[in-house]
Amino acid sequence: MPRELIVCFSDEAVAKDIKEHSGTVSNIPAAERVVLRKHAVCVFAGLVFPGKTTAVCLEKVHTGLFLSLLVRDVCETTLSVFLFESIRIDEMSADCVLKRKTHGNTNGTVRIKISGTEATETIKGLENKSVHIGRPETIEIRGCLSAFPKLNTSGETVGTVKLTTDDPEQLRDFTSSAGGFDLLGETTERLVLEKYAVNILQSLQLKKEAAIHSLELSADSKEHVEEILSGKHKKIYVGYVRRIELTGYSLNILSVLETNGQNCVDEMTLSAHKKEEVEEILDAGDRTLFFGGIKHINMKGYGIGCLPKIKIPKNNTLSVLSLQAWSEEETEEITKHRVDVGCVENIFLNRHGVSVLPFLDIERGNTLCELKMNATDQSQVLGIIGCPKESILMGKVKKISLSGYAANVLPKLKTEPGNKIDRMALYTDTRDQTSEINNSNNEGVFAGDVGVLELKNCDMDLLKLKLSNSRKIKSILIWCEEKNKEKIADGLWESDDCREKTTWMGSLKTKEDRRTNIMFVFSYYDGEEMIKL
C-alpha cells in the first residue's frame, strides 16, 4: 500500500467532468495519506476513504470552494470518521489536514486570516453556524471577524478562541451578523481578544452558566475600546471566569465586566504602561468593582492604581499579591490612601512597588507565608526609609526575602510578638543597599526569631542584626568574597560578655552550641566551605 496518494486538478472543468461521469467516486486506492489539491476537492464529497487511510489533506483550495465544502452536509459525514488537525484560510486559498479518529484524540488548530475583499464577501454571505469545523483545540481569526459566527463547533467545550483585527469595519461586519447567537460553548478554556476585537464581548450572548477559564483582553489605543465604553451596555456579562488578564487600554473596561455572583477568580493580571490607559477606570469609586473571591492579584505599571477600586470579600484569602512598578508615578493612586487587602499569604513587591508596603492594610492575625521585595535603585525605597523604625506592622511572617535596596526596609518592619521566621534572606550587591542597617545605633536591628539566615555580599556592618536567643538557629548561609570569610566568622564568635556590641546572633553567642551550621559561598569562584560550630 502506498504511503501517499496525490490527486491534483488544475482545471475546474476536468474535475466537474469526472464528477458528472462517475457519480460518486468511492473506489479510491488505499493509501495512508490522501492529498487533494486545487480543484480535485470537487470530488471530495463522493469519496469513501479506506480504513487504512489515516490522513486526508486538502491543499491550495480556492477559499470560496473550501468554505462551500465545509457547509455541505456530506462534510458532517466525513467528520464522523475524521478530525481536523489543522485548518488555514487566507485571502486566496485554504488548506486543511484531517486525521482519522482514534481513541482519545482531539481536533487541532483552526487558523483563519482573511482581509481580502473577495473572501470576506464570501464569508459574509454564509449563514451563521453553517461552517462545520468539528471540535478544535484552537480557533484563531485575524482580520475577518465576521467569520467567527459562521463556525459550527461540535460539543459544549471550546479550547482557545483568539480574535484580533486592526480594521474597525470588520467589527461592524461582525456586529451586524452575530446578533442573537450564543457564539461560545458552555465552557471556553481561553478567550483572547485583541485590538478592535475586544468590543465583541458585548455581542457574545453568554448563558448564565457559561464559563470562561481565561479571559485575556489587550488594546493598544483608546479607539480600540471606544465602542464598548460608549455607554450602550452598562454591564457585560462574562459568566464564570477563573483568570482575567487585561493589558493596555482594555483596563478601562474592567468596570463594565460582570461575572457570575458565585464567581471566584483564581488570578487577575492588570498591566498598563501609560497613565492614559487607566484614566477611565480611575474615575470609578474605591471598592466598587466586585468579581467575587480572588486568589491571585498581579498588577504591573499603572495597573497598580486599580487595586483600591477592587472590592475584596471579607472572608477572602489572597494567595498572592504581586505589584511591580517602574516609576513613582505608577504608585500614586495607592499612596494617596490606605488599601484594605484582607488576608494575604504571599506579598511580592518589585522596584517602585516596594514603596506601597506602608499603605497596605493586612487583616489582623494574618500569617504571611512569604514577604519578598526587590529594589534596584535607592529612589524606589526613599518613601519607606522616611518611616519610623518598626512602624510597618506585618503580623506573623514565615519567610522574608529582601533584595537590593529593599534590604534597607528591614528596620521598618515589625512582626507580632513571638513570631518565628523560618527563613530570612538578604541579598545585596553594594554597601549602600544596607545603609539603614549599617547606620543603626548600638541597639542594632531586631530581626526576630530566625531559623535560617541567608546573607549575600555582606560585611561586618551587616551583622547588626539582633536575633532572638530563644531559638536555636539551624544554619547561616553567607555569600561573600573569600577574603572576608575570617572577618565575618570572627564576628560570629562573640563571647557572652560582649553584650554591649551591636552584633547579637542569639544561640551563636557560645562555642558550646554546636548545632548551627555556617556555610560560606564564595561568589567569585566555584567553591564553598562548611564550618561546624
pLDDT in tens, 33-51: 777 777 666 666 556 666 6
pLDDT of residue 514: 41
Strand positions, DSSP E, 385-444: 392-397, 399-404, 413-415, 420-427
- For 435-468, give one letter per residue: b (16+ CB within 10 A) or e: bbbbebeeebbbbbbbbbbbbbbbbebbbbbbbb
Q: If you search the block for the grid coordinates 447567537, which residue do you land on? A: 181
H helices, E strands: number in the chain: 10, 32
Type of residue at 149: P
C-alpha to C-alpha distance for 375 and 433, rounded to whole angstroms:
9
- Nearest to 271, CA basis, from 235, 192, 217: 217
pLDDT of residue 75: 57
pLDDT in tens, 108-129: 677 777 656 666 777 777 888 8
DSSP three-state, residue 124: helix
The most distant pair of C-alpha atoms in the chain lies apart, rounded to whole Å, by 109
pLDDT in tens, 370-402: 999 999 999 999 989 888 888 999 989 999 999
Q: Does residue 1 surpass a pLDDT of 60? A: no
C-alpha to C-alpha distance for 437 and 317, rounded to whole angstroms:
33
Q: How confident is the model at residue 181 (pLDDT cuts 50, 70, 90)?
A: low
DSSP three-state, residue 505: coil
Mean pLDDT of 318-339: 92
Is residue 347 a contact partner of residue 369, using CB atoms and an 8 Å limit? no
Query: Rounded to whole angstroms, what are the CA distances from 269 to 150, 250, 296, 514?
Result: 32, 12, 8, 48
C-alpha to C-alpha distance for 296 and 294, rounded to whole angstroms:
6
Antiparallel, parallel or unpaired: β 339-351 and 370-375: parallel
Query: Rounded to whole angstroms, what are the CA distances from 156 to 187, 188, 240, 435?
Result: 6, 9, 15, 60
CA dihedral 196, 198, 204, 209 (to 10 degrees): 170
Mean pLDDT of 134-158: 79
Q: Which residues pair with 325 in a beta bridge?
A: 351
Q: Which three cell numbers stand for residue 291?
A: 468579581
- Nearest to 306, CA basis, from 329, 272, 342: 272
